[in-house]
Structure 1
Amino acid sequence: MQLAGVGIWSSQLRYGDPAVSVEAAAELEELGFTALWIPDVGGPVFDALSSLLQATEQTVIATGILNLWMHEPADVAANYNKLVAEHGDRILLGIGVSHAPLIDAGEPGRYSKPLASTRAYLEAIDAADQPVPVERRVLAALGPKMLQLSATRANGSHPYLVTPEFTAQARTALGDGPLLLPEQTAILTTDRDEARAIGTDWLRSYLGLPNYANNILRSGFTQEDIDTVSDKLFDSIIAWGDEDAILRRVGEHQAAGADHVCIQVLGADPNEHPRRQWRRLAAALK
């Protein structure tokens, strides 16, 4: 799977009104986005994938990411192959180890040894009656060891909440072959106060998770940047402005070695599908 171009990462496509999600997915395909990415923070993820696959004909449907603590490897392999048989070979499984505060909240102490747990999970998928091909899976990788694993046991990496500078470092770590598919958060407004009102609390919720905070620190930011959600950090993680500003950031990721960039659009209402903004970005891409 040689995924290129620009895609859409959307929690609304997974957890929003199902009828609107189906309609929006069909429109996003018509608009030319090459992949649709959905998160996995609980619930039947393969039902969601099936719905989006039925709504589209050629677009890649991807998980960003499938939470390995929430799904048995054998079930993942069986469901993946069932969907491939029904809809063709256009499913990409992004697999990730999630975050200790989220996993341990329901079962304290369950989250342990993320690298070893990911490796064991992939081995279990490989041992299934019908495995998920290595070429059809990528890993949520931020640290150097997980990036190495994504290059050897998967078809690359889907990093989230990263800068173009991180993308360049990840490309060096991965080498030339594996896919590099970063997510880029965007807010379509030229008003800094509006951007801050939409994005600050959203970003702060991620900065409270150690995996992201540690990667931010490795990327050259300070603890004060994290604690205050500084303008420097905000502007580096979230692309805001007009269409040209958003696509300029996408271009920076591509110049740094990204094969494909998936844009997550934030709006004033986090539950609403940002269809107007998606249309604006699609028009600018043409």
Structure 2
Amino acid sequence: MRIGLFTIAGGAPLDDLVAQARLARDAGLASAFFGHGSSFDALTTAALAGREVPGIEVGTAIVPTYPRHPLALASQALTAQAMAGGRLTLGIGPSHRPIIEDGHGIPYDRPARHTREYLTALRPLLRGEDPAHRGETLTAVGAVDAPGTTPPPVLLSALGPTMLRIAGELADGTVTTWTGAAAIADHVVPRITAAAEAAGRPAPRVLAGVLVALTTDPDAVRREIADRFAAAADLAAYRAALDRQGLAGVHETVVAGDEAAVAAELRRFADAGATDLLIAPFGDAARVLEFAASLG
């Protein structure tokens, strides 16, 4: 199982975000993925990190699709791929109704259909082809010419059965959040793998995002996470994922404790079939990343 860093592209100056990618690489991790927030653009941040920090995969987890037409995202992603020296992985997803509809003023209609059509248009565009797509939710006609650039792999954020099926059929894998090892084993891996096999596609990557803290007081960490991220549990996709796991809140997915406890829990993700673990360090980031790298 490959182990990488996850951090939000915001809350710190750009140079600090690049420094986090460098810290991950120097600790021996395989990747650095940047999440979308209300600050710096995640894809541009990944491109910069890839250019400044050789020897590590960079990616997004994730770029919201609704505000970005596939033609526009393909152009930006291929530019980022060129900047990163071919080490970019593009993670996309439909985001959440309150963000898209209330924030952007874009109707959050039929997100599964939108996602299927988006990937149907995006993948040919990344290959320099014209998808000539005229669907129910979007039209994409034209091509993007990016000389000398290879198409980046595409991941889809997927937690529910329908999205996992789409990820298996049309993407190169999935990236999860607020999902424990048991759900990876029992729900995520079987569904996306079956969908990929039925579509005649290679075995998908499963990137499991997890918040990790090395601490002598794991209960205090979980209380702080519960306070900080309480609103996440009200988002429909996260609420459904938590309900499937029998969990009340996102804090119950946190991996926290001493080194032995954290090591045992992280190994469960490998046993569950995750191909990658994206660690969001809580507390002493350098210590968490170095310890995680020692397990990989």
> Is 1:119 aligned to residue 116 of structure 2?
yes
Of 196, 205, 210, which aligns to 1:184? 210
Q: How high is the TM-score relative to the length of structure 2? A: 0.81
- Hey, what does 2:24 align to over in structure 1? 28
Q: Secondary structure at the match of 1:61?
A: strand
Task: Indicate how the Cα distance of structure 1 residues 215 and 81 shifts in structure 2: closer, same or farther if over 3 A, else same.
Answer: same
Is the 1:54–1:87 contact (alpha carbons within 8 Å) kept by the matching residues of 2? Answer: yes
Is the 2:164–2:192 contact (alpha carbons within 8 Å) kept by the matching residues of 1? Answer: yes
> Is 1:136 aligned to residue 132 of structure 2?
no
Deviation at 1:202, TM superposition (A): 2.9
> Is 1:76 aligned to residue 86 of structure 2?
no
- Hey, what does 2:14 align to over in structure 1? 18
CA deviation string 1:91-138 (max 9, x = no partner): 111111111122222245611211011112112213532499887001
In 2: Cα distance, 1:260 partner to 1:46 partner: 20
Deviation at 1:72, TM superposition (A): 2.2
Q: Structure 1: which amino acid aligns with 2:295?
A: L
Task: Indicate how the Cα distance of structure 1 residues 94 and 178 shifts in structure 2: closer, same or farther if over 3 A, else same.
Answer: same
Is the 1:190–1:242 contact (alpha carbons within 8 Å) kept by the matching residues of 2? Answer: yes
Is the 1:32–1:282 contact (alpha carbons within 8 Å) kept by the matching residues of 2? Answer: no
> Is 1:281 aligned to residue 278 of structure 2?
no
- Give the gaps of 5 or more residues in structure 2: 126-142, 198-202
Of 243, 258, 265, which aligns to 1:249? 265
Task: Indicate how the Cα distance of structure 1 residues 34 and 283 shifts in structure 2: closer, same or farther if over 3 A, else same.
Answer: closer
Identical residues among aligned pairs (%): 23
Following TM superposition, the consecutive aligned residue runs of length 4 or more in structure 1 with deviations greater than 6 angstroms are 131-135
In 1: Cα distance, 2:78 partner to 2:166 partner: 23
Q: How high is the TM-score relative to the length of structure 1? A: 0.84
CA RMSD of aligned residues (A): 2.4
Is the 2:96–2:237 contact (alpha carbons within 8 Å) kept by the matching residues of 1? Answer: yes
> Is 1:261 aligned to residue 277 of structure 2?
yes
In 1: Cα distance, 2:171 partner to 2:254 partner: 28
Q: Secondary structure at the match of 1:181?
A: strand
Q: Which has the higher contact order (CA 8 A, sep 6+)?
A: 1
Is the 2:62–2:91 contact (alpha carbons within 8 Å) kept by the matching residues of 1? Answer: yes
Matched residue pairs, number? Answer: 266
Of 240, 253, 257, which aligns to 1:214? 240
Is the 1:134–1:153 contact (alpha carbons within 8 Å) kept by the matching residues of 2? Answer: no
Q: Secondary structure at the match of 1:261?
A: strand
Task: Indicate how the Cα distance of structure 1 residues 243 and 17 shifts in structure 2: closer, same or farther if over 3 A, else same.
Answer: farther
Deviation at 1:205, TM superposition (A): 2.1
